Amino acid sequence: MKDGFIKTAAVTPKIRVADPVYNRDRIMEKIEEAEKERAVVVVFPELCITGYTCGDLFLSDPLLEEAKKVLIQIAEDTAGKNMLVFIGVPVAYKGRLYNTAAALANGKVLGLVPKHCIPSYNEFYETRHFAEGMEEPVEIALTEEVKVPMGCRMIFSPDSLPELKICAEICEDLWAPNPPSSSHALAGANLIVNLSASNEITGKDRYRKSLVEGQSARLICGYVYASAGEGESTTDVVFSGHNMIAENGILLAEAERFQNQSIYTEIDIQRLNGQRRRMTTFQEGIYCYREISFHLKKEGTNLTRFVDPMPFVPEDASERQKRCEEILSIQSMGLKKRLEHTHCSCAVVGSSGGLDSTLALLVTVRAFDLLGLDRKGIKAVTMPGFGTTDRTYDNAVHFIQCLGTDFLEVDIKEAVRVHFADIGQQESNHDVTYENGQARERTQILMDIANKENGMVIGTGDMSELALGFATYNGDHMSMYGVNASVPKTLVRHLVGYYADTCQDGQLKGILKDILDTPVSPELLPPEHGKISQKTEELVGPYELHDFFLYHMLRSGFGPDKIFRLALYAFGTGQNGREGKYAPEIILKWLKTFIRRFFSQQFKRSCLPDGPKVGTVAVSPRGDLRMPSDASADLWMKRLEKIQESL
């Protein structure tokens, strides 16, 4: 349970219909298996002690009495096990029969949650046997000695982890227009379990999956769905054991249907609670719930879930292509609106032959095409300086010519030398003044050309550079509209690659591919033997790490210790047993760099030019990041120092 991770399980035992004793043994086997997997929340299917398909046998006293006896035996079997188990069982109360989810822990039955929505349509006829569950809990006697609460409005919460709040619903409850889980979540529940017996018909699995994903997203919760499988009666329908575990709209684990497969994964309760705090429209309801506390030992949780090392870039190729097209459309439509509003038919873009300026020029061309403007209205300016190499210069020139925009070349070297003489800067001194003097000279040229042509300077800097502050203040940091301002560096590469793969122009594709192969560099220091001498990722660290840090700090609100753990898992040896890409010391080194620069460079983000938001993470001071420029990083750095001591 470290860092808010809760190991959950959805399990489907092979049962016999109307044979609680046989089913008890199969259920206990699964509980033993789940204990070995160190699952702490274990969910079984609907009515699995008896079987869902008993029909009128549910009206038989021997079956109900045996089911109750078996329930208590299974509860006793949980003694000494560090888990909360939900299991389906029919329970009689005051002349009515209820389809319930029994919550078991520490050798006891903690409570019974009855099914609220009772279907009687198509192949279902549950109202023949079961009553609608009461919302307010009542006390019922399972035996003379065992009395437990029963009702829909119950929350189960471990004493060792009070931020974990668990509620249950049963099968049809999820399919109803107003699922009980909606009330559960508004009452504080962040983990919903569903005990289900959902039969299979063609195409139903897709809809079922969309319900689980959608409800977990809408409620910002974890959702564990365990469904009946082999062993249920096949007189009229077949059950597949379609188990699923989702978190905030993402399906983390899914069973192979028709296999009675148990699935295990971790739900990040800390992340869910953080997302709810951010979402101001997620407001607690007026519902009155009974909270039932139980004991769980607080122990570490080994991660088995997938942690995406590239959270901004979809892993699936088709989804990645769709994302790239969508982002290019957002960027170009944002610029199109700004050009229309200002009655501007001229755009000025500095083209260096690097990734960021390439993407900015591609977006500008798209915006001009959408407006039906002549591409010659785009002034693509290449400005060779002291660090420019033949490779980037040639790529910039050929790229501009391929796009059919207006080409301008302004060599900045002599102007920068004059400026250096004016301020007493030695050209041989390759310090920050040497570098930033060139960057500001380039920005001055772009701004003045825009004034001369009644145009607009299009910014090229990306979100990763802004997060690190790796931009020259009032140099490449400044523009009149920054089309890349919320695009991380890892995604810039894929956007340019997508354009290369879909442009249907062999020459342009070749140029873009070579730009992709060129090391990322501001090219502000003289080349060595004609090659780029200044490689950004050697100076500030790998962008794939920084984008990972940025995502989990801003999107998830995680502290540096949890970010380090996730990065170690995603890039180290923890995930899929693969060889680690980065050693712990390297990850920690660049995480320190990220935290230090992120805090110290906020002043650059506080005065960003306008630019379109394209994803869930952005750093605009007018949108997602309202952060003081003089905030202290000490709290974050001290946590990293503790990690350093443990390595």
Domains, the chain, in order of start with CATH, read 2-294 (3.60.110.10), 317-646 (3.40.50.620)
Residue 531, pLDDT score:
80
| 494: pLDDT strictly greater than 80 | yes
Using CA atoms, how far apart are residues 100 and 154, in angstroms rounded to an integer?
13
Alpha helices in 518-633 (DSSP H): 536-539, 543-554, 560-571, 584-600, 602-605
| 209: pLDDT strictly greater than 80 | yes
Residue 20, pLDDT score:
98
214-221 mean pLDDT? 98
Angle between helices 506-517 and 355-371 (to 10 degrees): 150
Using CA atoms, how far apart are residues 266 and 575, in angstroms rounded to an integer?
14
Using CA atoms, how far apart are residues 420 and 386, in angstroms rounded to an integer?
13
Residue 250, pLDDT score:
96
Residues 166/155, Cβ–Cβ less than 8 Å: yes
Residue 358, pLDDT score:
97
Pairing of strands 138-141, 456-459: unpaired
| 577: pLDDT strictly greater than 70 | no
Confidence of residue 334 (pLDDT cuts 50, 70, 90): very high
133-147 mean pLDDT? 94
| 300: pLDDT strictly greater than 90 | no
| Strand partners of residue 101 | 88, 113
Confidence of residue 378 (pLDDT cuts 50, 70, 90): very high
Confidence of residue 152 (pLDDT cuts 50, 70, 90): very high
DSSP characters for 343-372? T---EEEE--SSHHHHHHHHHHHHHHHHHT
Residues 388/419, Cβ–Cβ less than 8 Å: no
Using CA atoms, how far apart are residues 142 and 541, in angstroms rounded to an integer?
62
Q: Give the CA distances from residue 505 to residues 247, 325, 500, 560, in Å, rounded to whole numbers and listed in that order.
A: 42, 17, 8, 45
Residues 543/489, Cβ–Cβ less than 8 Å: yes
Confidence of residue 523 (pLDDT cuts 50, 70, 90): confident
Q: Which of 3, 35, 6 is nearest to 224 (CA)?
A: 6
Enter the tokens of residue 170.
């049963």
Cα radius of gyration rounded to whole Å, the chain: 30
| 439: pLDDT strictly greater than 80 | yes
Alpha helices in 187-241 (DSSP H): 204-218
Using CA atoms, how far apart are residues 185 and 191, in angstroms rounded to an integer?
8
Enter the tokens of residue 597.
């620069």
Residue 573, pLDDT score:
67
CA angle 101, 103, 108 (to 5 degrees): 135
Residues 172/133, Cβ–Cβ less than 8 Å: no
- As annotated, the active-site residues are 46, 115, 171
Strands (E), 286-364: 290-294, 347-350
Residues 228/196, Cβ–Cβ less than 8 Å: yes
Strands of the sheet containing 5-10, edge to edge, are 138-141, 147-150, 108-114, 96-105, 84-93, 41-43, 5-10, 263-268
Q: How many CB atoms lie within 10 A of CB 340?
A: 12
The total number of residues written for the chain in this structure: 647
% the chain with pLDDT above 70: 99
Q: Which of 450, 441, 529, 536 is nearest to 493 (CA)?
A: 536
Pairing of strands 147-150, 154-158: unpaired
Residue 576, pLDDT score:
58
Q: What is the pLDDT of residues 159-194, one digit of tens each?
A: 999 999 999 999 999 999 999 999 999 999 999 999
